[in-house]
Amino acid sequence: MKKDFLIYGILLAVVLILYFLAPKPVNFSTTVSYIIIGLIVLSLVFVFIRTINGHFVGRRIVFLFVGIAVVLPFFMKVSQPIRVSPEVQTVYDSVARLKPGSKVLASFDYDPASAPELQPMAESFFRLCLERNLKIIIMGLWPQGPQQAEMALQIALADSLIVKKNLQRGVDYVNLGFQTGNEFVIQRMGADFRTMFSRDTRGIPYDSIPLLRDVRNFSNIDYSFNLSAGYPGTVEWVQVAVDRYGLKMGTGNTGVQATGMYPYLRAGQLKGLLGGLSGAAEFERATGKIGTATFYMLPQSFSHVVVIAFIIIGNAAFFLGEKRKEEKEKEKKQ
Amino acid sequence: MKRQVPLLITLVVGTVLILSVFFPPAERLGEDFSIFFDIIAVFAFFLGGGNLVRIHGNRLYKKNKDWAFSLVTLLGFFIMLIAGLFKLGNPGGISADVAASGSLFQMLYDWIFNPLGATMYALLAFYVASASYRAFRAKNREATILLIAAFIILLGRTPLGVYATSWIPESFSLLQIPNLAIWIMTSPNLAGQRAIMIGIALGVISMSLRLILGVERTYLGVDNE
Amino acid sequence: MTDKPTISPCLKVISASFIFLFFNIFNQTLFSQNPLQSNQSAPIYIPAPPTNVRAQDFKYDRGEAVEVRWELSADDTGSNFITGYEIYRAGEKSDSFILVGFVAPKNKLLIDKNVERGKYYRFKVAASYDGRLSYSEISNAVTPEMDIINWNLLNLFLVGLIVAGAVIYFIAHAKRGKKLFIRKIAGLEAIDEAIGRATEMGRPILFIPGISDMDDVQTIAGITLLGRVAKVVADYDIKINMPVSRSLVMTTARETIKEAYLGAGRPDAYNDDMVRYVTDEQFGYVAAVDGIMVREKPATCFYLGAFFAESLILAETGNSIGAIQIAGTAQPAQLPFFVVACDYTLIGEELFAASAYLSNEPKQLGSLKGQDVGKFLAMIVIIIGVVSATVSHAWGGEFFIKLSEYMQRIFTIQN
Amino acid sequence: MQIFGIWVAAFLTLGIISFLYKDNPWYKVCESIFVGISAGYWFVTLFFDNILGLFWRGITAPDPNYMLLVGATLGVMMLLRLVPSIGWISRWPLAFVVGATAGFYLINYFSSNVMLQVQSTLMPLLGSRFGQPVFSASLYDTIGNIVIAGGTFTGLVYFFFSKEHKGAFGGAARIGIWTIMITFGASFGYTVMSRMSLLIGRMEFIFGDWLGLIR
Q: What is the pLDDT of residues A206-237, one digit of tens each?
A: 989 999 988 888 888 999 999 998 888 898 89
Q: If contacts are CB pairs under 8 Å, which of residues 100-129 in chain C contact chain A?
A: 101-105, 128
Pairing of strands A103-109, A135-140: parallel
Q: What is the 3-state secondary structure (H, E, C) of C80-135?
A: CCCCEEEEEEECCCCCCCEEEEEECCCCCEEEECCCCCCCCEEEEEEEEECCEEEE
Query: Are the beta carbons of D207 and A71 separated by less than 8 Å?
Result: yes
User: Strand C51-57 to strand C98-103: parallel, antiparallel, or no bridges (unpaired)?
Assistant: unpaired
What does the buried/exposed string (b/e) look like for B27-57 if buried means 16 or more CB atoms within 10 Å of the residue's CB? eebbebbebbbbbbbbbbbebbbebbbebbe
CA distance C271 to C60: 54
Phi, psi of A108 (to 5 degrees): -110, 105
C-alpha distances (whole Å) from B190 to each of A83, A260, D92 are 29, 12, 42
Which chain D residues touch C180 with a CB distance below 8 Å?
162
Choose the closest CB to C281 out of D38, D116, D152.
Answer: D38
Considering only CB atoms, which chain D residues are within 8 Å of C386? 121-125, 149
Q: Which of B24, B124, B209 sits opposite C313 (nearest CB)?
A: B124
Separation of alpha carbons A208 and A204, rounded Å: 7
Compute the Cα dihedral for C155, C157, C163, C165 and give only its sign. negative
C279 touches chain B (CB under 8 A): yes
- Nearest residue of C to residue B123, measured between CA atoms: C313
Q: Measure the CA–CA gap between C281 and A246, rounded to whole angstroms.
A: 48
DSSP sequence for D112-167:
IIIIHHHHHH---SS--TTS--GGGS-HHHHHHHHHHHHHHHHHHHHT--SS-S-H
Most confident of the ranges A94-98, A300-304, C83-87 = A94-98
The rounded radius of gyration (Å) of the Cα atoms in chain C is 34
Search chain A and give the residue with CA nearest C102: A188
The conformation of residue C361, written as its DSSP 8-state character, comes to: -
- State how far the Cα of D96 lies from the Cα of C214, in Å rounded to an integer: 11
Which chain C residues are closer than 8 Å to A216 by Cβ?
131
Nearest Cβ partner for C340 among B51, B52, B131: B131
Count of C-beta atoms within a 10 Å radius of residue A10: 9
Q: Where are the beta strands (DSSP E) in C104-234?
A: 109-112, 122-129, 132-135, 205-210
Facing residue for B73 by CB, picked from D36, D48, D158: D36
- Pairing between β-strand A249-253 and β-strand A135-140 as defined by DSSP bridges: unpaired
Which residue, among B11, B104, B109, B111, would best test binding to D if mutated, counting the most D CBs under 10 Å from its CB? B111
The answer to whether residue B224 scores a pLDDT higher than 70 is: no
What are the chain C neighbours of D187 within 8 Å (beta carbons)?
332-333, 336
Test D198 with B124 for CB contact under 8 angstroms. Answer: yes
- The Cα B201–Cα B209 span in angstroms is 12
What is the DSSP secondary structure assignment for residue C309, as one 8-state letter? T
Cis? peptide before A25, omega within 30° of 0: yes
Of the partner residues C146, C259, C309, the one whose CB lies closest to the CB of residue B222: C259
Phi, psi at A255, each rounded to 5°: -50, -45
Instruction: Give the whole-angstrom CA distance, residue C212 versus residue B37.
Output: 13
Cβ-based contacts of B220 with chain C (< 8 Å): 255
Tell me the per-residue pLDDT of D138-192, one tens digit each, with 9 for 90 and over: 677 788 888 988 999 999 999 988 888 888 888 999 999 999 999 999 888 877 7
**Is A318 part of the contact surface with chain B (CB cutoff 8 Å)?**
yes
Could you tell me the end-to-end alpha-carbon distance of chain A, in angstroms, rounded to an integer? Answer: 51
Query: Is B23's Cβ below 8 Å from some Cβ in D?
Result: no
From C50, C27, C46, C30, select the one nearest C38 (Cα to Cα): C27
The 10s digit of each residue's pLDDT in A227-272 is 998 888 898 898 888 877 789 999 999 877 776 787 788 778 899 9
Confidence band, pLDDT 50/70/90 cuts, at residue C279: very high
Which among D130, D204, D212 has CB closest to A267?
D130
- For residue B225, pLDDT over 80 is answered with no
Q: Is B130 on the interface with A (CB under 8 A)?
A: yes
A positions 32-71 inside 8 Å of B (CB)? 57, 59, 62-63, 65-67, 70
**Chains C & D: contacts with CB separation below 8 Å:** 172
When scoring C188, C212, C247, C283 by the number of chain B Cβ atoms within 10 A, the one with the most, hence best to mutate, is: C247
- Sequence ranges of the domains in chain D: 1-65, 123-215
Say yes or no for a CB contact (<8 Å) between B132 and A311.
yes
- Within the 59-88 window of chain B, which residues sit less than 8 Å (CB to CB) from chain D? 66, 69-70, 72-81, 83-85
Q: Which of A1, A18, A27 faces D211 most closely, judged by CB atoms? A: A18
Q: What is the pLDDT of residue C33?
A: 40
* Chain A residues near residue C87 by CB distance under 8 angstroms: none
Mean of per-residue pLDDT scores for chain D? 85
Q: Measured between alpha carbons, how far is C353 from C372 in angstroms, rounded to an integer?
A: 11
Separation between Cα atoms, residue C49 and residue C72, nearest integer Å: 8
Sort out which chain C residues have CB atoms less than 8 A from D202's CB and list them.
none
Task: Return the amino acid letter for B209.
Answer: L
The two beta strands, C205-210 and C240-244, are parallel
Domains and CATH numbers, chain C: 51-135 (2.60.40.10), 180-360 (3.40.50)
Amino acid D157 reads V
Mean pLDDT for all residues in chain C: 82
Mean pLDDT of B54-65: 89
A307 touches chain B (CB under 8 A): yes
When mean pLDDT is compared across A66-70, A77-81, C281-285, the lowest value belongs to A77-81
Distance, CA of B163 to CA of B159 (rounded, Å): 7
For residue A232, cis peptide bond before it (omega within 30 degrees of 0):
yes
Residue C259's Cβ-count burial label (10 Å; 0-12, 13-18, 19+) is buried
User: Which long-range contacts does C398-404 make (Cβ < 8 Å, 24+ apart)?
Assistant: C404/D122
Put simply, the chain A residues between 229 and 268 with a CB less than 8 A from any chain B CB are: 255, 259, 262-263
Residue among D78, D98, D159 whose CB faces C375 most closely: D159
* SS3 (DSSP) at C275: strand
Contact D119 C392 (CB under 8 A): no
This complex has an ipTM of: 0.84
> How distant is the alpha carbon of residue C262 from its chain centre?
41
Q: Report the alpha-carbon distance of residue C79 to residue C64 in Å, rounded.
A: 36
- Chain A CB contacts of C102 below 8 Å: 184, 187-188, 191
Q: Which residues contact B123 (CB under 8 A, 6 or more apart)?
A: C313, D16, D17, D19, D20
Main-chain dihedrals φ then ψ at residue C264, nearest 5 degrees: -85, 5
B186 Cβ neighbours under 8 A, 6+ residues apart: A259, A262, A263, D144
When mean pLDDT is compared across B52-66, C284-298, D110-124, D158-172, the lowest value belongs to D110-124
Phi and psi for D57 in degrees, rounded to 5?
A: -65, -35
Which of C84, C101, C320 is the closest to A190 by Cβ? C84
**Predicted local confidence at residue D71, as pLDDT:** 86
Residues B122-155: tens digit of each pLDDT: 999 999 999 888 876 667 788 889 888 988 888 8
A chain contacts of residue D25, beta-carbon cutoff 8 Å: 1, 4
Of the pLDDT bands very low, low, confident and very high (cuts 50, 70, 90), residue D85 is confident
